[in-house]
Structure 1
Amino acid sequence: MVMFTCSAQHAAVNSGQIDIYGWLPNGPSTMQEPPPTKKKTANEATIMKTLPGYYTADCILATLQLLSKQASDSIFLPDFKREYFTEKIPCENIRIFQEKLNKLSEEIQERNKGLDLPYTYLDPKQVENSVSI
């Protein structure tokens, strides 16, 4: 559970923040007016009054960009650059796990070929093996 939370779940929640919330109406982190309380009362003018001003929007976008950016020293799930184990059974299990991750990555890449907006956040080759900010 810890490994999943610190790798795949974190990637699913964190990596696409700029893609999703970069257009502020998708999920503004601050609102200047309360949300409408009755259906069909919102219009372009009320939405524009509700959205944050330029300075606040710029701060939000800068934060999203920073949080979505991969670290320069990222290590991804299939990569085991350090040799923590030398025993036969753990090394074999790591090799099998890497094969499964690479196969899953290939399947995801194949599925994404036909999509206008590919979902890459859970491709093992793009999921960091830990949380890094």
Structure 2
Amino acid sequence: MVIFTCSAQHAAVNSGQYDFYGWMPNAPSTMQEPPPTHKGRANEASFLFTLPDVQTTVNIIATVWLLSMEAADARHLHEFVEEHFTEDFPNHKVKVFQRELKRLSKEIQKRNRGLELPYNFLDPKLVESSIAI
């Protein structure tokens, strides 16, 4: 559970932030007016007046861009640089885990070939092995 939470789950919610929030109307960081209370009364002008100002938008998009960037020293889930185990059984389990991650990565890449907009955020080759901010 710890490995999943600090790798795949984090990648699922973090890696695509800029893709989603980079277009501010998808999720405005602030609203300058309360939401409409009656259906049919909102129009384009009231919608635009409700959105945050340019400086706020720039600050939020820059923050989301920074949070979505991969760290320069990133280590991915399938990479095991340090050897923490000397016994055969845990080393075998690490190798089995790595093989399964490679298989999943190939499956994800194969599935994505047919998609207009591929979903790569959970490809084990791209998922960081920890949370790095």
The TM-score normalised by the length of structure 2 is: 0.96
The alignment status of 1:31 with 2:31, answered yes or no, reads yes
Displacement after TM superposition at 1:78 (Å): 0.5
- The equivalences for 1:33-72 within 5 A come to 33-72=33-72
C-alpha root-mean-square deviation of aligned residues, in Å?
Answer: 0.9
Displacement after TM superposition at 1:116 (Å): 1.1
Displacement after TM superposition at 1:46 (Å): 1.4
What is the identity, as a one-letter code, of the residue corresponding to 1:103? R
Q: Tell me what 1:129 maps to.
A: 129
Structure-2 separation of matches of 1:21 and 1:37: 25
Following TM superposition, the consecutive aligned residue runs of length 4 or more in structure 1 with deviations greater than 3 angstroms are none
Structure-1 separation of matches of 2:86 and 2:48: 60
What is the identity, as a one-letter code, of the residue corresponding to 2:62? A
> Where in structure 2 are there 5+ consecutive unaligned residues?
none
Q: Tell me what 2:22 maps to.
A: 22
SS class of match (1:3): helix
- String of CA shifts for 1:109-128, please: whole Å, max 9, x gaps: 11111111111111111110
Structure-2 separation of matches of 1:83 and 1:132: 21
Displacement after TM superposition at 1:52 (Å): 0.7
Structure-2 separation of matches of 1:126 and 1:69: 12
Displacement after TM superposition at 1:27 (Å): 0.7
The number of residues matched between the two structures is 133
The alignment status of 1:73 with 2:64, answered yes or no, reads no
> Where in structure 1 are there 5+ consecutive unaligned residues?
none
Displacement after TM superposition at 1:50 (Å): 1.0
Which shows bigger deviation, 65-74 or 26-35?
A: 26-35
Structure-1 separation of matches of 2:58 and 2:45: 21
What is the identity, as a one-letter code, of the residue corresponding to 2:100? K
What is the identity, as a one-letter code, of the residue corresponding to 1:81? V
